[in-house]
Structure 1
């Protein structure tokens, strides 16, 4: 029956106490409860009849996970995780207890910070000074204007800005990965030369943020950096049955893409 379905927010250690006012998705926001499964418990609620990926529900899902992760680790589920009934959740959680416990230990005292890097679009003059090829194309277009020439120049400028931004990111990544316990590259984002997430000990999160700000200020003519977080540690939860890596062991080497 549809009424028996449950919405799953995440997995925590058994014995956790939920905030008394904990609410989840839906309008009105659904009361949240714990569904025990041995050494673990799933954080669940009823499923709203009109569940959609609306901003209010996306934010309610994330805000609850952030509250849960303030004092103890939580293994986050992506928005929209719905099970047919409570027994399905209990059996699934119990069957993967060892792996879930390992992930929770890995996430203890850590948070996710996401870094996006984009080319500094306002610094074309700096690119022209540094790139002889762009200067040559610009001179040709000024002498002999044409549509094709303008297209080639535009492409060269875009590629040059992206290249300078990617080079700048390569310079800062070693310092940032040294402060983090793990780093993974996320899906490509249009306009970005990097979309990466860091698993950062909460004790050094402000130092991490300061390092990003320092580098961004020093290299503003090449790259713009946007740091988002703290976030639920979505990027460091194994997918498709993969085994979790222990704390400190990278699950992926950093990579930078550019045009």
Structure 2
């Protein structure tokens, strides 16, 4: 039996760890930390820092190289193939380090339930015929960190909120059903693809971390500033994690 604990760790600040997360990390026999190459070396460093702060037990920590997503296939096909490869990488590490079963922990940015594929990859995991039991330890999401940083509510009174991606915002535009959008996984500043009038944006990168950057204002006034600052931050740190909320006025 493999008891797999998917532990939400927030946006990188060790203060985001819940007591449940710390307990699950210390109860694990093994924690796997993925390496994503030099471009995102800070991400593995943050996971190492979190383990160094949280672990008081003899939990083993093993690093492994995460497969890369193909750039030659259509997006959905590339993602499916990538997820298969990640599941195979997990299986290889489990076979090497937990051959008789045990408690395995993976540290997931934000929360495993929100725009994260760890749970979907888990469904593909097969390890030498061993049974798999999955446990989720929820974490602080980037959305919570964003609204807290700006001091705003997520929704307007009695109104819905739509959470989407930059890709879908470009393809579908602003949906009629919501006056508030939260946009995640946007590497191309998709807010430039919509009509900016009467829209306010709250943007944040590296939320709750020392290099946190926040911008708020009318989209007509701050869109170019966000694009410029985002590019500069990405060049400086070699990676960026950002999220933004947009709200239409007069609805």
Q: TM-score normalised by the shorter chain: which range applies? A: under 0.3
Larger radius of gyration: 1
Tell me which protein shows more helix as a share of its residues: 1
TM superposition score normalised by structure 2: 0.24
TM superposition score normalised by structure 1: 0.23
